[in-house]
Structure 1
């Protein structure tokens, strides 16, 4: 038991304990989002599954519907990200709001979830990952931006997740344009977040979204 705890505290887990933590995370996800409609399992040694939870993004108090999916990784937080600075959280799971859980969306989400451990880096609020080409069909945007959830159930998940005393951050995945990235680099993140509010930034990823800059 002591050896299992020591491995957990150091940032790695035995397979049996990892399976327990996997189920614990899934139970927390399901307590807020219901059962996933799809789960995309990973056969790699660092197992990062992706769960797709159906959601109508129009609040219950409003008319109409806007159906899509909440995608959530399950497994990224098994390992502490290297080099985390300051008060940032050392463990993360990623969330992406999409219309459909297509293979290219899921592949990109899993790739992002593995990236900190491949490049010896870490993700936090406001961090970006710039790519040489658009990662998803139908968009010209090439930069991923990580924010934190603002929707109630998703915030609750972020407040509940924990491994060995480490709180687990939930970061939402967003794609932004070259011009929007330049604005963030020039003026900081807050002016861009103001633009999102002013333009009623849609919660569900829209590959055809026009740049706000």
Structure 2
């Protein structure tokens, strides 16, 4: 049972409808991921919080462990993105997911910033979209480009299937960082060529800042 203190955190500074939507999304997240270990809270007007859910990424049928976090934004889907009419298959609302080893302040800040970009720049994110940065956004990696995909892990797919906001279905987009050469491959040969490389190289689900470029 959630305490009155926790409820006050959800409702603070939010209109009633937004607070209710926030709680509904969190309930969907928790139905698959249990309660978050912690939440990085947004003090800005848009209110995009980042929940950190602990996970062992090794399937139950296998031995060993591979512990990390599923980071999920909560609040990005309150606003519709500026999806053009010709992108008929793209959902106008989304939340972002990032699989990480440590849920650092740096990574949570990057995720929150990405969640605000469509509304700052009047743009939109969908499957296969890239956001190139002038410098690596995370310490320990040389990769500078964010790439959005969709979940392939079953509980995360179920979360995506249940999300909605303002009467619209909402999408989950997973966050990945790719090298300059991988970015060029996508631009020149298409996303499928890069996805094939991920399969061939056993791309790890948890973000590895020391990963070598596949190109």
Place the TM-score, normalised by the shorter chain, in its bin. Answer: over 0.9
Note the alpha carbon deviations across 1:110-148, whole angstroms, 9 max, x for none. 000000000110000000000000000000000000000
Match of 1:22 in 2: 22
Residues 83 and 120 of structure 1 are in contact (CA less than 8 Å); yes or no, is this contact kept in structure 2? no
Residues 73 and 94 of structure 1 are in contact (CA less than 8 Å); yes or no, is this contact kept in structure 2? yes
Equivalent residue of 2:119, what SS?
A: helix
Q: Normalising to structure 1: TM-score of the pair? A: 0.92
CA distance, structure 1, for counterparts of residue 104 and residue 145 of structure 2: 19
CA distance, structure 1, for counterparts of residue 198 and residue 83 of structure 2: 30
Match of 2:143 in 1: 141
Trace 1:121-160 onto structure 2 (pairs within 5 A): 121-160=123-162
Which of the numbers 176, 179, 185 marks the counterpart of 1:177?
179
Equivalent residue of 1:117, what SS?
A: helix
Match of 1:99 in 2: 101
Equivalent residue of 1:55, what SS?
A: strand
CA distance, structure 1, for counterparts of residue 133 and residue 111 of structure 2: 14
CA distance, structure 2, for counterparts of residue 131 and residue 21 of structure 1: 31
Q: Which runs of 5+ in 1 are unaligned?
A: 1-13
Which of the numbers 163, 168, 171 marks the counterpart of 2:170?
168
Q: Which runs of 5+ in 2 are unaligned?
A: 1-13
CA distance, structure 2, for counterparts of residue 41 and residue 139 of structure 1: 26
CA distance, structure 2, for counterparts of residue 48 and residue 155 of structure 1: 21
CA distance, structure 2, for counterparts of residue 70 and residue 41 of structure 1: 16
CA drift of 1:165 comes to 2.5
Match of 1:6 in 2: none
Residues 68 and 102 of structure 2 are in contact (CA less than 8 Å); yes or no, is this contact kept in structure 1? yes
CA distance, structure 2, for counterparts of residue 161 and residue 24 of structure 1: 9
CA distance, structure 2, for counterparts of residue 72 and residue 186 of structure 1: 31
CA drift of 1:87 comes to 1.8
CA distance, structure 2, for counterparts of residue 76 and residue 135 of structure 1: 20
CA drift of 1:164 comes to 2.9
Note the alpha carbon deviations across 1:55-113, whole angstroms, 9 max, x for none. 00000000110000000000000000013432200000000000011011011000000
Q: How many correspondences in the alignment?
A: 200
Note the alpha carbon deviations across 1:25-77, whole angstroms, 9 max, x for none. 00000000000001111110000000000000000000110000000000000
Residues 162 and 168 of structure 1 are in contact (CA less than 8 Å); yes or no, is this contact kept in structure 2? yes
